[in-house]
Amino acid sequence: MTAATSKVPRSKTQVNSAPFENPLIPNKRLCAVYTAMAELRLLDAFVASRANAKKPKVQLQASLGLEACRVSTALNLEPGDLTSESAPSIATRFLRGAKLAELIAQVEAFHTGPRKAAAAFSSASELPLLAPGKERIYLALGAAQTLKAAPSGKTAKLSRILVAYVNPTELNTSEWTEALHFASIHALPILFVAFPDASVSAAKIGRLSRNATAAGVPGILVDSADPVALYRVMQESLERMRHNGGPVLMECIEFRPTPRQPVADPIATMAAFLLGRKVVTEDWMRSVEQKFRKRLETASQ
């Protein structure tokens, strides 16, 4: 558990007195998910304000609306696990416990110009930043092969994994089939997380997950605004990959609002979920934001 995701309500009563607790996702972990999402949104807003002041030519990838996708897939990563980004972003490294002061310094370096962008965003836990496309995806596949060949852990039986954040349109259909089939036949410990793409027509939504299943990789459609569902899928996927079960593809999509989920906002959805089950109070939620704003102020001085 990282620094960003380890926080739970100070009052044990707020969590333990809840009338219902899912044994698969304890209430403390649900609180950690909410905290991480709320903090990530505040961090994004802070970074955006810095960018607006400097007006850099290259922008960092924002996580607005994708907080549940980001948090659910980074929450349980181990130190030896790797990630692959399709664009410069600080979301994953923040969720994996990077210090705020260091992140802010990286953001400042990034905003000084494209030449310093690569140096500012080099990390031992992230693959080199490449332009979206076949070269990036196959770099991720190669890295996943290396992870499989060198398992980690006390028993040396659990595989490290790689999380590749992708876009459904990053490859064409035949290229995706080729890449997914390769991952399948080699049982690679790689999770493809496809973010929602507004340019994909309604008729084509879900095509990537169907393509994955046909290629031998479980393709799972998940609501990008449903943190609990995303976390459950990630739990099951991690179990599969760490025990040599092979790759998984999560296609995060935007479902239409329903009475149960009136807005496609993952933080609002999670807040309603926690409050409805009396896991936390509104005062606790406000304290999460207040404490993180203070941390941002301190780190940016």
Q: What's 161's domain CATH number?
A: 3.40.50.970
Q: Give the Cα separation of 91 and 87 in Å (integer).
A: 11
In tens digits, the chain (301 residues) has pLDDT values of 444 444 444 333 344 455 667 777 889 999 999 999 999 999 999 998 877 776 766 678 889 899 999 999 998 899 899 999 988 889 999 999 999 998 888 888 777 765 555 555 667 899 998 889 999 999 999 999 999 987 555 545 678 999 999 999 999 999 999 999 999 999 999 999 999 987 777 777 889 999 999 999 999 999 999 999 999 999 999 999 999 899 999 999 987 666 665 567 999 999 999 999 999 999 999 999 999 999 999 998 8
pLDDT of residue 59: 73
Beta bridge mates, 162? 82, 190
Question: Dihedral sign, CA of 254, 202, 233, 97?
Answer: negative
Has residue 6 been placed in a domain? Answer: no
Q: At what angle do helices 282-299 and 100-111 cross, to 10 degrees?
A: 60
Task: Provide φ and ψ at 253, rounded to 5°.
Answer: -130, 160
pLDDT of residue 3: 42
Has residue 36 been placed in a domain? Answer: yes
pLDDT of residue 61: 84
Has residue 229 been placed in a domain? Answer: yes
Residue 155 makes CB contacts below 8 A (sequence gap 6+) with none
Has residue 57 been placed in a domain? Answer: yes
Burial label for 301, CB within 10 Å (0-12, 13-18, 19+), is: exposed
Question: Dihedral sign, CA of 76, 82, 87, 90?
Answer: positive
Our count of domains for the chain comes to 1
Both ends of the chain: CA-CA distance in Å? 27
Q: At what angle do helices 227-242 and 67-74 cross, to 10 degrees?
A: 30
Report the candidate in 173, 170, 174 with the shortest Cα–Cα distance to residue 192.
170
To the nearest 10°, report the CA torsion of 47, 49, 51, 55.
Answer: 180
List C-alpha distances in Å: 38 to 11, 41, 129, 244. 19, 5, 26, 34
Has residue 216 been placed in a domain? Answer: yes
Contact between residue 25 and residue 228 where contact means Cβ atoms under 8 Å apart = yes
| Single-letter code of the amino acid located at 92 | T
DSSP conformation class of 150? S
Has residue 125 been placed in a domain? Answer: yes
Residue 104 C-beta-side C-alpha neighbours within 13 Å: 15
**Is pTM, for the whole model, over 0.95?**
no
Has residue 226 been placed in a domain? Answer: yes
pLDDT of residue 149: 87
pLDDT of residue 40: 96
Has residue 5 been placed in a domain? Answer: no
Domain extent, residue 69, equals 12-299
State the Cα angle at 159 between 172 and 6, rounded to 5°.
95
